Amino acid sequence: MFCAIVAGRAPASIVYRDRVALAFMDVNPVRPGHVLVIPTAHRAQIWDLDEAESAAVSRRLPALAAALKAATAADAVTIFGLNGKAAGQTVFHVHFHLVPVHADDPLLRRRGRRVTFRLVLRRASRAQLDTLARRIRARLAQPLTLTADRHSLASGSRRSGLRDVRGA
């Protein structure tokens, strides 16, 4: 299914795309704004990625998470992946979930030593997904904050290379 999205044979609300990574809206989001980030090459689980592929996909996560947080006015973003059937993976193309979280509605619940995640899948319309994707893309196109710019200058690195993919 994800390979069909990469190839353009299946519909998707694209947030970001380059030659190694693709980010798009989850059609069954656990929260509005739920984004999936995948490598464009088919790899079933994370251990199927080589080091360079893993690094390339991972480099996109901070900017995507920041754009998602800003676009949804979230207080945080939970990032997770499920690898293998026993872990709950149902689509066997490695992917990372980026889920916006608001302080008044946390995903993670702690009660003593018991920790639970409250995830409820809800179908979203293509119009809803396209609107959220546009909002996130618009945040990707905005300049980095002063703090991020200072970090980039100090490390000698450049922005992660994320760009707006309007019309993609």
Q: Which residues are catalytic?
A: 95
Token pair 């002063």: residue: 146
Strands (E), the chain: 14-17, 21-25, 35-39, 76-80, 96-101, 108-111, 114-117
Give 76's strand partners: 101
C-beta separation of 49 from 40 below 8 A? no
